[in-house]
Chains A and B, each alone.
Chain A
Amino acid sequence: MKHLLQQISRSGKFVAGFSIFATILLIVLIYPLVVPDPPLEIIGQGTFFEPGIYVNVYDSISAPHYTLNLDEAAEQRIASRFKAEDREAMRGWLVGSGMPESEIDIANTAQLLDQWFANFDPTTRLPGMTNADRNYYIRLNNSIQGLLSTEAAVIAQMNAETAVLEETGTVPQTAYVNVNQVANVRVLPLGTDNFGRDVLTQLVRATGVSLQIGFVAGIIATVIGLALGLVSGYVGGLVDDVIMFITNLFIVIPSFVLLILISFSIGQEQRGAITIAVVIGFTSWVWTARAVRSQVISLRNRDHVNLSKLSGHSIAHIIIRDILPYIASYVIMALILQISSGILAEAGLSILGLGPKTTDVPTLGLMMNWAMIYQAHILGKWWAYFPIIVTIALIAFSMNLMNTGLDQVFNPALRD
């Protein structure tokens, strides 16, 4: 056993795969301890908030303020609200309304704004101007109001009795808060999804659920495949014919189609994560059964098996003691592949809307499904789908690496 582990640990591929997998597993286990929020809680009012650090505005007013005199502050403030293309568009409008182009200097912000405010009229429709353009100019006009102001912003509170606003303080343009001192700051490393849920928290939980689904599906598939393969290969004859007949039948029917049909007929009400895992397991045992059978057939005429037979051992005893150990390494590798394909099958089903029902638990496939329904991929909301694809890819990749690594160790033909 020790020797075996040593051998395995010398396989670079296996170690790489295993470390990726272990990291994912660790994150799945540890993250909920650090961030205990329920993964399906709707926190964002609105869809697809960008990844970032969200600082509570109300709290930052009452947090201690510091004055920092930074040179570029005013410039950056203006640049963020008034971009180069806005200046260009402004020139277009002014020229269209009859102002000579030579009088306009788009680099001179103050002059440009003066000209703009003196001339802009939202009701004017220049030739060739669409309603979309008109809306744009109105938005632009609103967004640059008070752009060059150097006054402090006034904070006022409504007096409950007189209903008059009373000034309670001002915020000068040089005021800063230290994020650490603001009472409420929420980091959303992967933003929110279409429901306003924290994507990272959900992703971690979904990875856990998907791994569970993969394990359950993989184990069921491997157990069924192994049992049928062993019996069919060792007993042979009519039993072999019957089992292989059924197996071939399942090979002919594409298992994913079968999976879709079964999931559909179960109905969404009954489709929990584990039900889906079981369904996946019961439709993907076929190749394991065939492969195990052929291995067993080659084993069953070996001397030690014949000896065992002569000694009068029962079939079960022979299969478990004399055959199983010889194919154990193969079975482990098959199991790994089954787990990985179980995770992929769940994702595939859920993308089609046939996965587990939405409210109970998140899964990787369900997250993809909702991101697609709300067109995250079209609107460029990468954080709602890309991390999920990466996670699925990493899990499948790490498992395939482990599988190849083991293959190198166990398969004499591949041994270095």
Chain B
Amino acid sequence: MKHKNRLFFVLLGVLLALALTLGACGSTPTEEEEPADVAVPAEEEAAPAEEEAAPVEEAAPAEEEAAPAEEEAAPAEEEAAPVEEEAAPVEETAADPNSLPRNETLYFNGQQWGSVVGWNPYSNSNNNAMAIAQQDNARVTMFETPYLYNMLDGQMYPLLADGAFAWNDARTEITFSINPAAHWNDGTPVTAEDVAYTWATHVKYNTPTAAGNIDYIENVVAVDAQTVLVQAKLNDEGAAVNPLIVEAFLSSNYVIQKAWTETLEARAGGDATALMADPAEDAAFSGPYYKYFADDTKVVMIRDDNYWGQDASMWGKLPVPKYLAHTIFKDNAAGTTALQAGEVDVSQQFNSNVQDLWLQDGLPISTYLPDAPYGIGASLPTAFFNLQSPGLDQLAVRKAIAMAVDYPTIIANAMTDQSATFDQVPRSLMNPTPGEQALYDQTAVADLQWVGNDIEGAKALLDEAGIVDSDGDGWREYNGEKLSYVATCPNGWSDWQAAIEVVAAAGAEIGIEITTNYPEWAVYQTVVTKSDAPLPEGYDIFMMWSDGAGPTQPWGRIRKLLSSEFIGMASNWNGNWGQYANADADALIQAIPNETDPAVLQEMYTELVRIYLSDIPSFTLMYRPQSFHTVNESVWTNFPYEGDGTNPPVPPLDLTDGWSIAGLYNLELVNP
């Protein structure tokens, strides 16, 4: 009897333990699904100090375990063979990835979180921030684009291409030629056929690149071995649907070798999922660096000394550091500590109070600008209103909240002054770069601006609209309903959280109750990016990002902030998350890409800013650099800084993205 009792209890216990475990796990079902949705690696980096945020969780498959071992053998067997054959020459004996020669290695932080998944340029879930990021300022360390975008002067410079590209007169086709010097790491030349085949493969397997461009690009054709023709998709009038996106395609998408793609296709057996999931350790590349070592503690890339870019028609020499290394830090604090210790040369992360590093600690650390805001603001982290929340459909309420928010405190406290203020750069849809600021007429919209922290003005506005506190509880009512909202952003994104706190504080001052809530990113992202239904409760005022600097900007950013085309999508990673619809704005957004007259363009942009500032579907809380760019000059020097005399100017994008890669050729050792 006694024994039976025991057995019964043991069973009961196992059940209880199971129930407890299941109960505790049950509330986070979205976490596992997340990798599929992370279609925006670019934004992730631009986003704030979101240490443990999204990228980390991208499914890291099992082949990683095998990878490092394989790789250590690799450099040795690829002996310095002449052209032809597999030839990535590594003359000297390969260094131990755990003790790289310091004066040949450039260390990064803030780019790579979690271990690398793959090296597949067709996929966008490689979680491989040192090698792959196809974005406005594409990362060109390993794979290369035909052109490089320079966010400082807005120009495109040839990389794989030879000379400038040319539109035909009807603006329906772009022609450019491939630099005859360009070759792959195996020595075979880069040809127009590679460019055409890359696009064909994207379309065939419906990769994210194809999905983003198929509505604008009809085809990419190899006219001869060197000449590429990019045909735009045409609308009913016979004009290109969107010439801006066609142009941007040239600087934001890699050229991938046809021969290797065919190998990959054979391996994947024609299956799109298998093709994109392939880790592609054998990918052919044309860029100056390739994989040397990767595990869950670090990623190291080594220079290809056979790189074609040392041809006089391109750089004329090899990039200076032999290794690019990125230790995978646990969080921003660990990254900052390493930067202080001189173990990191280039820091792409939010270092709060960065000026203390040189003012108080006296370290040889500097940023692109010597004083606040320390970097070039490029994107506009924005608070969106849920326009369906009761009361927030009223312009007066939206404007009153936007007017009452204390922006100087957000910029000084949340961003620790690493943003231009709205006194310096009045709010608009443009980022603070001079190029974009020149695109609209500041004086024409000056009367629509608000300064912030204007409590009396906000109160007067609400009183005037008849939105008053009628039952004396201290909170205003609209239609008999108390104005009470939840302001939110993802948990752990510290500067955004701090900004949301300031927004909430403003509400209390003007009689609108605003509480804060910080869901986990996994939950937040699925809610906010679902635009085929009204947003649920708890998402009345919420923060998301905007586009940064790029060849389609500011048009692309404006579209993503205002265009109603993003309403009604099951997964909307583009923008307009507050679901704002305005036919006039839509028409302007539609028309701008085909407009070439600068005067008309300025008028159109000014009109869009006017709509934005009068309707207030969302409001910008701060400016944010494209990438943070803090450098420690203990080992390397000659990093880009404002007025460094480079021509064209090298942008502060960590020496890996777009034209900033040119900075790698300028580096010098402090103690040679």
Is B205 in contact with chain A by the CB < 8 A criterion? no
Is A378 in contact with chain B by the CB < 8 A criterion? yes
Assign chain B's interface to a size class: 35 or more
Is B413 in contact with chain A by the CB < 8 A criterion? yes
- Chain A, range 74-106, C-beta contacts under 8 Å to B: none
> Do A359 and B340 touch (CB < 8 A)?
no
- Chain A, range 268-302, C-beta contacts under 8 Å to B: 268-269
Q: A372 CA to B12 CA in the complex, in Å?
A: 43
Is A128 in contact with chain B by the CB < 8 A criterion? yes
Q: Which of A128, A132, A358 has a CB less than 8 Å from the CB of B358?
A: A132
Known: A131-B638, A258-B24, A358-B518. 20 other contacts (CB 8 A): A42-B409, A42-B413, A44-B413, A45-B412, A128-B670, A131-B633, A139-B370, A194-B498, A195-B413, A196-B413, A245-B9, A249-B16, A264-B27, A267-B27, A268-B491, A269-B538, A353-B492, A359-B501, A374-B494, A379-B356
> Do A358 and B497 touch (CB < 8 A)?
yes
- Chain A, range 366-416, C-beta contacts under 8 Å to B: 372-375, 377-380
Q: Which of A46, A132, A372 has a CB less than 8 Å from the CB of B364?
A: A132
- Chain A, range 130-152, C-beta contacts under 8 Å to B: 130-133, 135-136, 138-139
> Do A379 and B409 touch (CB < 8 A)?
no
- Given contacts A194-B413, A373-B494, whether A379 and B517 have CB atoms under 8 Å apart is no
Is A357 in contact with chain B by the CB < 8 A criterion? yes
- Given contacts A195-B413, A249-B13, whether A135 and B370 have CB atoms under 8 Å apart is yes
Q: Which residue of A lies closest to B368 (CB)?
A: A131
Q: A264 CA to B353 CA in the complex, in Å?
A: 31
A17 CB to closest chain B CB, in angstroms? 35
Residues of B within 8 A of A133 (CB): 364
Residues of B within 8 A of A121 (CB): none
Is A241 in contact with chain B by the CB < 8 A criterion? yes
A117 CB to closest chain B CB, in angstroms? 20
A-B pairs with beta carbons under 8 Å apart, 26 shown: A42-B409, A42-B505, A45-B408, A47-B412, A130-B670, A131-B633, A131-B637, A133-B364, A196-B413, A249-B16, A249-B17, A253-B17, A258-B20, A261-B25, A264-B28, A265-B23, A265-B24, A268-B491, A353-B491, A357-B517, A358-B501, A358-B518, A359-B501, A359-B504, A375-B353, A380-B360
Q: A394 CA to B24 CA in the complex, in Å?
A: 34
Q: Which residue of A lies closest to B497 (CB)?
A: A358
- Chain B, range 518-558, C-beta contacts under 8 Å to A: 518-519, 538
Q: A262 CA to B23 CA in the complex, in Å?
A: 9
Is A48 in contact with chain B by the CB < 8 A criterion? yes
Residues of A within 8 A of B516 (CB): 357-359
Taking chain B's interface residues, is the majority helix, strand, or loop, or is none over half, making it mixed? mixed
Q: Which residue of A lies closest to B409 (CB)?
A: A45
- Given contacts A46-B413, A265-B23, whether A130 and B518 have CB atoms under 8 Å apart is no
A125 CB to closest chain B CB, in angstroms? 10
Residues of B within 8 A of A258 (CB): 20, 24
Is B352 in contact with chain A by the CB < 8 A criterion? yes
Q: Which residue of A lies closest to B538 (CB)?
A: A269
Q: Which of B20, B519, B631 has a CB less than 8 Å from the CB of A267?
A: B519
Residues of A within 8 A of B409 (CB): 42, 45, 196
Residues of A within 8 A of B370 (CB): 135, 138-139
Residues of chain A at the chain B interface (Cβ within 8 Å): 42, 44-48, 128, 130-133, 135-136, 138-139, 194-196, 238, 241-242, 245-246, 249, 253, 258, 261-262, 264-265, 267-269, 353, 357-359, 372-375, 377-380
Is B253 in contact with chain A by the CB < 8 A criterion? no
> Do A46 and B358 touch (CB < 8 A)?
no
> Do A374 and B26 touch (CB < 8 A)?
no
Residues of B within 8 A of A138 (CB): 370
- Given contacts A130-B670, A249-B16, whether A46 and B517 have CB atoms under 8 Å apart is no
Residues of B within 8 A of A48 (CB): 353
> Do A265 and B27 touch (CB < 8 A)?
yes
Q: Which residue of B lies closest to A265 (CB)?
A: B27
Q: A261 CA to B23 CA in the complex, in Å?
A: 9
Residues of A within 8 A of B443 (CB): none
Residues of B within 8 A of A265 (CB): 23-24, 26-28
> Do A46 and B24 touch (CB < 8 A)?
no
> Do A135 and B12 touch (CB < 8 A)?
no
- Given contacts A47-B416, A374-B494, A375-B333, whether A42 and B502 have CB atoms under 8 Å apart is yes
A187 CB to closest chain B CB, in angstroms? 21
Residues of chain B at the chain A interface (Cβ within 8 Å): 5, 9, 12-13, 16-17, 20, 23-28, 49, 332-333, 336-337, 340, 351-353, 356, 358, 360, 363-366, 370, 406, 408-409, 412-413, 416-417, 491-492, 494, 497-498, 501-502, 504-505, 515-519, 538, 631, 633, 637-639, 641, 644, 670-671
Q: Which of B24, B538, B633 has a CB less than 8 Å from the CB of A264?
A: B24
B206 CB to closest chain A CB, in angstroms? 37
Q: A251 CA to B333 CA in the complex, in Å?
A: 35
Residues of B within 8 A of A264 (CB): 24, 27-28
Q: Which residue of A lies closest to B504 (CB)?
A: A359
B20 CB to closest chain A CB, in angstroms? 7
Residues of B within 8 A of A245 (CB): 9, 12-13
Q: A278 CA to B518 CA in the complex, in Å?
A: 21
> Do A195 and B9 touch (CB < 8 A)?
no
Q: Which residue of A lies closest to B12 (CB)?
A: A245
Q: Which residue of A lies closest to B487 (CB)?
A: A359
> Do A269 and B633 touch (CB < 8 A)?
no
Residues of A within 8 A of B491 (CB): 268, 353
Residues of B within 8 A of A47 (CB): 352-353, 412-413, 416
> Do A375 and B352 touch (CB < 8 A)?
yes
Residues of A within 8 A of B332 (CB): 375
Q: A249 CA to B366 CA in the complex, in Å?
A: 56
A194, A196, A264, A373 — most chain B CB neighbours (10 Å) = A373
Q: Which of B12, B353, B502 has a CB less than 8 Å from the CB of A379?
A: B353
- Given contacts A241-B9, A378-B340, whether A131 and B356 have CB atoms under 8 Å apart is no
Residues of A within 8 A of B13 (CB): 245, 249
Residues of B within 8 A of A380 (CB): 356, 360
> Do B12 and A131 touch (CB < 8 A)?
no
Q: A350 CA to B352 CA in the complex, in Å?
A: 21
List the 9 shortest-distance A-B pairs measured between CB atoms, nearest first.
A261-B24, A130-B633, A265-B27, A132-B364, A132-B366, A373-B494, A135-B370, A130-B637, A45-B412
Q: A13 CA to B505 CA in the complex, in Å?
A: 46
Q: A350 CA to B605 CA in the complex, in Å?
A: 46
Residues of A within 8 A of B515 (CB): 359
Residues of A within 8 A of B416 (CB): 46-47
Q: Which residue of B lies closest to A192 (CB)?
A: B413
Q: A310 CA to B332 CA in the complex, in Å?
A: 70
Residues of B within 8 A of A374 (CB): 352-353, 494
Residues of A within 8 A of B638 (CB): 131
Q: A353 CA to B53 CA in the complex, in Å?
A: 14
B16, B360, B494, B497 — most chain A CB neighbours (10 Å) = B494
> Do A131 and B639 touch (CB < 8 A)?
yes
Q: A353 CA to B370 CA in the complex, in Å?
A: 34
Residues of A within 8 A of B365 (CB): 132
Q: A194 CA to B356 CA in the complex, in Å?
A: 14
Residues of A within 8 A of B352 (CB): 47, 194, 374-375, 379
Q: A135 CA to B370 CA in the complex, in Å?
A: 6
Residues of B within 8 A of A131 (CB): 366, 631, 633, 637-639, 641, 644
> Do B358 and A135 touch (CB < 8 A)?
yes
A331 CB to closest chain B CB, in angstroms? 27
> Do A136 and B517 touch (CB < 8 A)?
no
Residues of A within 8 A of B644 (CB): 131
Q: A313 CA to B518 CA in the complex, in Å?
A: 55
Q: A22 CA to B351 CA in the complex, in Å?
A: 41
Q: A345 CA to B28 CA in the complex, in Å?
A: 23
Residues of B within 8 A of A42 (CB): 406, 409, 413, 501-502, 505
B368 CB to closest chain A CB, in angstroms? 10
A295 CB to closest chain B CB, in angstroms? 24
Q: A45 CA to B413 CA in the complex, in Å?
A: 6
Residues of B within 8 A of A135 (CB): 358, 366, 370
